[in-house]
Amino acid sequence: MDAHSKKPKPNHLLRQQRLERGWTLEHAADELYKLCGSKVSVRGDINAKMIGRWERGEHLPSLFYQEKLRLLYGKPLQELGFIQPWVAGDERAEEPARAPEHLPALVTGSALQRSPVDMTPHQAIDLIHEAPHLTLDQLVSAWLALGATDLAMLFDEGWTLEEVLTSLRIVLQGVQAMPNISRRTFGHRMRELIAAAVASCIPIPTGEHITIEERTQLHQALGENIAAGWQLFHTAGNAQVLAVSQAQLYLVQHTQVYLYPSIQPIFYSGVYRLMGAALFFQGRYEKAQHAQQSAYTAALEGADAWNMAQSRTWQVYGYQALGQHDQAIQAIVSALRLTTGQDDEASRRLQSHLLACWAESATAMREDRISQEKLEASASFLDDIHPNEEFDRSHWLQIAGSCALATEDYPIAIQHLKEALVELSPNWLMRQAVTAMPLAVAYARMGERNVSIDVAKKAVAVLSALNAPIMTKQLVEYLRHDLLERFPGDTFVNSFIREVGHQLPQTAAALA
């Protein structure tokens, strides 16, 4: 019999401590929230419903909450019903409580040596709560043991969607180091969990009639969810972002009957744009452009000039990747027209970004004078723009450096790209990759082999996490043309390329 089919065993000891103090469930939740302090960001994360589930034995509190309950009631864990007394012959009895750095016996060895199904959902969630203390294989085993329906337990205990996805990202980054797990099977399982995580925190109404409060909660949750997806785009693996966007599209389609007509196009536009962005970095340009056109059409339906311009910007990237720079410039002009007369920071950021993209296309078309003019026009906005994942001064420096690289002005390219890397947040993985790769190329073309490889090593580490085929293709071009051709027979270069092949096997296949 599995954990879901067993009848919950009420925790009478925990309930007794509350009743002895004359506390209601609501009062106990209030006191626990005060004790948790900054560790729990939202008051609603600790509520009477959660306390009741613990007392009825429907959910087991995580190690974090067990410790807080111990402090709240001033009783050891055994007197709160969290540690069962050892009984001879009972192999399931738990050991005495230990400090957080000592993990349960279930994972003291290699967690992958035992089947993940041996772990209950409660045990898996307790381990995930202790992620900083786990080895990668222990964290992997915990996630594999978790079913899609069990994710709700994490959200009940105060986890945000971003925290769940961040933990999954850590696991995904370690796939290369897990020879005993089929990467394909593992990846499929992770995509299922990602989709479930996205869906689990959305309060989907039931029935034909919903209250204004339910509708408001739905709109807020979907809006926050889509915004979290875009945050993920800059910090996580490409396959993960695509899975999130696909799950979000399903959610918007499933709930559109409850959405206000004025809001529905905004949600569709944001999701389609995110999906197109993920497809772009996979090198699936035709599908990416189709998704961006869907985003543009949705924004047009809602008369949303801002999202129309954003979609056009992503179409620019697609045209540039395909070498269609005339069409890229037409899309830039269209997007700039949509932002005319807007003087808020977001609009200035987008205008500056579009002008920098224009410079890139002009450079590709060997129109150096126009390129310089557009770069200068773009730079005129930078003093009024704060650091931002989409576009800021570091992004401008990256584009200016790439333009200098294309015109073979390598010293200027290195100057701009180095400065861009210094200013970039280490969490913005995609931006780190698109800046480090041209810098490695510039150093190689200056004959500075060692420095070039040092920069490339950092880029490879980022690319391993991103799993973005378009960036891997750029890496292969660098290895082939800027290292192997420029430094033929160089043992240091060959050693580095073998090292890259171990980290990213697809590069070895491409160079074979």
The pLDDT confidence band at residue 5, using thresholds 50, 70 and 90, is: very low
- H/E segment holding residue 298: helix 285-301
Q: Is pLDDT above 50 for 39?
A: no
Classify each residue of 368-389 as buried b or exposed e, where b means 16 or more C-beta atoms within 10 Å of its C-beta.
Answer: eebbbebbebbbebbeebeebb
And the tokens for 341?
């007369």
For range 1-23, the mean pLDDT: 75
If you write DSSP's letter for every residue of 396-424 in order, what string do you get? HHHHHHHHHHHTT-HHHHHHHHHHHHHHS
Inform me whether the pLDDT recorded for 29 exceeds 80. Answer: yes
Q: Does the pLDDT value for residue 69 go beyond 90? A: no
Q: Which residues, including other chains, have CB under 8 Å from residue 201's CB and lie 6 or more apart?
A: 155, 160, 161, 221, 225
* pLDDT, tens digit (0-9, with 9 covering 90-100), for 89-105: 333 333 333 323 333 33
What is the pLDDT at residue 356? 97
Give pLDDT, residue 378. 97
Query: CB neighbours of 500 closer than 8 A, spacing ≥ 6?
Result: 456, 460, 475, 479, 507, 508
Residue 451: its pLDDT value, please?
96
The residue among 44 and 46 whose pLDDT is bigger is 46
Q: By percentage, how much of the chain surpasses pLDDT 70?
A: 73
d(C-alpha 112, C-alpha 299), whole Å: 47
Domain-wise residue ranges, the chain? 202-338, 345-424, 443-512
Q: Is the pLDDT of residue 496 over 90?
A: yes
Angstrom distance (rounded) from CA 417 to CA 150: 45
The alpha helices in 424-490, defined as continuous H runs, are 429-445, 449-466, 469-477
Read off the pLDDT band of 47 (50, 70, 90): confident
Task: Count H helices and E strands in the chain, helices first.
Answer: 24, 0
| 177 pLDDT more than 60 | no
* pLDDT attached to residue 107: 32
pTM to 2 decimal places: 0.65
Q: Which has the closest alpha carbon to 484: 451, 453, 439?
A: 453
- pLDDT tops 90 at residue 481: yes
Domain 202-338 CATH superfamily: Tetratricopeptide repeat domain (1.25.40.10)
440-477 tens-digit pLDDT: 999 999 999 999 999 999 999 888 777 788 999 999 99
User: For 111-125, what is the mean pLDDT?
Assistant: 55
pLDDT tops 60 at residue 87: no
**How far, in Å, CA of 391 to CA of 372, rounded?**
19
pLDDT more than 90, % of the chain: 40
For residue 149, pLDDT beyond 70 = no
Take residue 225 and report the two structure tokens written for it: 């969810």
Whether the per-residue pLDDT at 112 is higher than 60: the answer is no
Asked if 13 and 81 count as a contact pair (C-beta separation under 8 A), the reply is yes
More confident position, 280 or 195: 280
Q: Cβ contacts of residue 360 below 8 Å, gap of 6+?
A: 320, 371, 399, 402, 403
Residue 23: closest CA among 36, 34, 9: 34
